[in-house]
Amino acid sequence: MYRILASLFATIILSAILTPFVRKLAFKIGAIDKPNARRVNKVPMPTMGGLAVFLSFNIANIFLLKNQYPTDQLVSLLIAQCVIIVTGVVDDIYELKPRQKVLGIIIAALIVYFVVGVRMTTITIPFLGTIELGWLSLPITIIWILAITNAVNLIDGLDGLAAGVSIIALTTSAITGFFFLNVTSTFVSIMMFTLVAALIGFLPYNFHPAQIYLGDTGALFIGFMMSVFSLYGLKNATFITIIIPVIIMGVPITDTIYAILRRVLNNKPIAQADKHHLHHRLMQMGLSHRETVLVIYGIALIFSFISLLYPLSNLWGSVLLTVATLFGLEIFVELIGLVGDKRQPLLDWIKKLVLMAGTHERKKHNKK
């Protein structure tokens, strides 16, 4: 245990040391985020910071924690990571088209499925029993990896936002997987904590005012690793094992779902960028850059606390908890206008109920 803790501390230090070197490298090779109408930065900012996270994470795994992992898993997973990192670095320098980035993620996902051997094979649905996925295992696994990877990439819009939210989500996932979900591969939790350590070392350079961005190198890498880690607990998926990682990653998943819904309702391409994401809306409401990030950290913590209630609940308790979470989330989304200022179906329905109740009470009073 002490060796693991020492290794995690060393990972933090290593990440903090490597980040300034990656920053200089980003300037030299042209991995720079230039200001435009959609960006929040006012000056050119070095990106590709995720390379420092990737290097410190894997140096720690290979040289400090090697004995904690199965060698075949460590090597094959590293190959998949390299595909993601190359995709991210190229995108940070040349700006790939969405379909080109998706291709890189799919290649890495195929390595995870066929080489690493991590995949969804069965799913247990309440009242229906266990269903063998068969040939559906491949597309479902790839879709899961694509969805989570892109969700993290979409929230990387403010200084320290994606890194901080990922630290919260990964820490919760590691604790939940180790203590509650009985994930037999304990090395997965250790690997999660190692990635958390790498992100902690990077965060001081990334928090507002940032000196370097994660870039697609970092956002894609973190999202990809989070999706793979969650798959270790989803080999034999159940309602609980599926809902817990979804709740833990509630911030990026919510932002992604409502971004898609917003664009569909406004007849715009799903891949078209806009300035109506969660962080944009909070800033438009008057919060400062740093306040917005801290508020979203708080939302991520709320999701994490909710996720910890699931292992303690029975099936019906979990269903009620999910319904309550979705209800509260929809009210919050409508209040901040994440889909649009005039799109408030649930709030409008609640207002109608209140008006109807008030009218009914007045009629009863008048009869008296």
Q: Is the peptide bond before 209 cis (omega within 30 degrees of 0)?
A: yes
Q: Which of 128, 181, 127, 124 shows the shortest CA–CA distance to 316? A: 127
pLDDT of residue 216: 93
Q: Any idea where the domains of the chain sit in the sequence?
A: 2-276
Amino acid at 220: L
Is 216 marked as binding a ligand?
yes
First and final CA of the chain: distance in angstroms?
Answer: 74
b/e per residue, 223-254, with b = 16+ CB within 10 A? Answer: bbbbbbbbbbbbbebbbbbbbbbbbbbbbbbb
Contacts of 125-134 with C-beta under 8 Å, sequence gap 24+, read 125/239, 126/239, 126/315, 130/236
For residue 286, count CB atoms less than 10 angstroms from its CB and return exposed for 0-12, middle for 13-18, buried for 19 or more.
Answer: exposed
pLDDT of residue 366: 66
pLDDT of residue 43: 76
- Which tokens go with 98? 């969405």
Q: How far is CA 30 from CA 47, 92, 93, 95, in A?
A: 9, 8, 6, 11
Q: Which of 87, 217, 232 shows the shortest CA–CA distance to 153? A: 217
For residue 137, count CB atoms less than 10 angstroms from its CB and return exposed for 0-12, middle for 13-18, buried for 19 or more.
Answer: middle
Neighbours of 142 (CB within 10 A): 18
d(CA 218, CA 50): 3
Per-residue pLDDT of the chain (368 residues; tens, 9 = 90+): 788 889 999 999 999 999 999 999 999 999 988 766 556 656 788 999 999 999 999 999 999 888 888 888 899 999 999 999 999 999 999 988 889 999 999 999 999 999 998 888 888 777 677 888 888 999 999 999 999 999 888 888 889 999 999 999 999 988 887 776 555 468 888 999 999 999 999 999 999 888 999 999 999 999 999 999 988 877 666 777 788 888 988 888 888 888 888 888 878 777 777 777 888 888 888 889 899 999 999 999 999 999 988 888 888 888 899 999 999 999 988 888 887 777 788 888 888 888 877 776 666 666 65
Degrees (nearest 5) of the Cα angle 39, 148, 342? 55
- Which tokens go with 64? 């400090």
